[in-house]
Amino acid sequence: MLRKPRLFTPGPTPLLPAAQVAMASASMHHRTSDFRALYSETLADLKEFIGTHNDVLVLASSGTGAMEASISNLTSPGDKVLVLSAGKFGERWRDLATSFGCKVEMVSAPYGQTFTPADIRSKLDEGPGVVYMQATESSTGARHDVESVSRLMRAHAPAALLVVDAITGLGTTQFDIDGWGIDVIIGGSQKALMIPPGLAYCSVSERAWQRMESAHSPRYYFDLRKERKAASKGESAFTPATSLVAALAAALKYIRQIGNGNLAAGRNTLITGAELSAEMTRAAAQALGLQLFSPGCPASALTALVPPPGIDSGKIVSTFREQFGAVIANGQSEMKGKLFRIAHLGYYDYLDTIAIIGALEHVLASVTNGKVEFGMGLRAAQTTYAEHTAELCEAKAL
């Protein structure tokens, strides 16, 4: 049987065909009125997609570039910052802030868990200038409660800025960016936006712009003030990744289309889709006796699962690839071998979700020598889907 190469990884995610076509056919110079028109429109659409009144910028970099920008633009060497960390991407905030000479305070939770308000509160009392966190920690499949953190900050550290890495969070979970006071929120192209890696994007609040005036960490390529100035003229400060911008424009057009002309509605469709795919996958996991790696706070962007006792998750990852051509993710660093991750963010639908669960049952049968009853996970996922669909119909009928 054929084995189509397919991504079920939490980035890169499957590509939107319309974006592939736009990307392949894009051939333009970036200092032209045509590109300026496209870029301005794309930034405006992206702002609607993110859902904020703040400025929105695009960088030719991976998401980590925008993370670095929100360290280097908002801090000076020696500044006290607070990092909330419960996984590899939380640790990236720590490493970035350390690289730029910040004095890093940490609220840490074990991998697979999230933070307690009491721990955060005590650290907020120490007066950090900026708080850095993830919306969803892709390394563990955990969701962190950004709204609660923002509420704690308003009460206990109102001057501190809140920076949220929502690279896998945007398009998979709801944010009230302006209402909660998220000063910088960061996204990446290869996630819910359904295009390849290469672009980071972020929104920047007025408070964050003000902070930049006094912050003096070294920065050049990622100087957000330069980008803001260029963006106001429909340009980027440095050569933009034009084909990816064309892909982004097409993706945003598609998201508007699935939202019947409304980008926010389209984003909500993506979010509810990821939520349902995640819920189906969790139901299947439970029916198959698999433990969630982050049972207390599972994200909708991806599901991290613990392999059956005695099985290395690397074996599961390689069996998926060899038997079915499907690429799922292993655990990272010290989590390697201990969990495997299946993504739900971006261009996925019912058929993708049910198909990967079907394949999972064969993979489990293969690595456990047959200790799987076929159809059990699938039926649980189908029941979840059917219940959700029935609820939607009832809601519409009311």
Residues at the site binding a copy of itself, with contacts judged by CB under 8 A: 1-4, 6, 21, 24-25, 258, 269-270, 272-273, 276-277, 323-326, 347-352, 354-356, 358-359, 361-362, 365, 373-376, 378-379, 382-383, 385-386, 389
Ramachandran region, residue 66 (left: φ > 0; alpha: ψ -120 to 50; beta: rest): alpha
User: CB 22 → a copy of itself: shortest distance, Å?
Assistant: 12
- Least Å from the CB of residue 378 to a copy of itself: 5
- Nearest distance in Å: CB 12, a copy of itself: 15
- Cβ closest to a copy of itself, residue 13 vs residue 189: 13
Residue identified by tokens 């499949």 is 141
β-strand pairing of 130-134 with 184-188: unpaired
CA angle in degrees (0–180, nearest 5) for 293-275-11 = 70
For residue 129, what is the DSSP state? S
**Least distance to a copy of itself, CB of residue 356, Å:** 7
- The rounded distance, in Å, linking the Cα atoms of 320 and 256 is 34
Measured distance CA(257)–CA(266) in Å, rounded: 7
Nearest by Cα to 165 from 244, 96, 213: 96
Between 24 and 155, CB nearer to a copy of itself: 24
The residue among 6 and 211 lying less far from a copy of itself, judged by its C-beta, is: 6
Q: Which is nearer to a copy of itself, 155 or 390 (CB)?
A: 390
CA dihedral 334, 339, 340, 343 (to 10 degrees): -90
CB of 222: closest distance to a copy of itself in angstroms? Answer: 33
Least Cβ distance, residue 157 to a copy of itself (angstroms)? 39
Q: Which is nearer to a copy of itself, 72 or 319 (CB)?
A: 319
Phi, psi of 199 (to 5 degrees): -125, 135
Reading the block at residue 209, the tokens are 């712009």
Distances (CA, A) of 363 to 277, 294, 303, 328, 329: 19, 22, 16, 12, 14
Distances (CA, A) of 6 to 14, 64, 282: 7, 25, 21
Indicate the residue among 56 and 299 with the shorter CB distance to a copy of itself.
Answer: 299
Instruction: Provide, rounded to whole angstroms, the least separation between the CB of residue 321 and a copy of itself.
Output: 13
Q: In the complex with a copy of itself, which residue's Cβ is closer, 216 or 371?
A: 371
Q: Which residue, 82 or 326, has its beta carbon nearer to a copy of itself?
A: 326
Closest distance of CB 322 from a copy of itself, Å: 12
Task: Give the nearest distance from C-beta 10 to a copy of itself in angstroms.
Answer: 17
**Paired tokens of 150:** 């923002």
Residue 150 or 172 with smaller CB distance to a copy of itself: 172
Max intra-chain CA distance, the chain: 63
What CA–CA distance (Å, rounded) separates 190 from 215?
30
Coil, strand, or helix at residue 344?
coil
Which residues touch 153 (CB under 8 Å, ≥6 apart)? Answer: 124, 131, 160, 162, 181
Q: Give strand ranges (E) for 99-207.
A: 103-108, 130-134, 136-137, 142-143, 161-165, 184-188, 199-204
Q: Which is nearer to a copy of itself, 115 or 347 (CB)?
A: 347
**String of b and e for 74-88 (b: at least 16 CB within 10 Å)?**
bbeeebbbbbbbbbb
Tokens describing residue 166: 């929502």
- Find the shortest distance in angstroms from Cβ 89 to a copy of itself: 26
Grouping H, G, I as helix, E, B as strand and the rest as coil, residue 302 is: strand
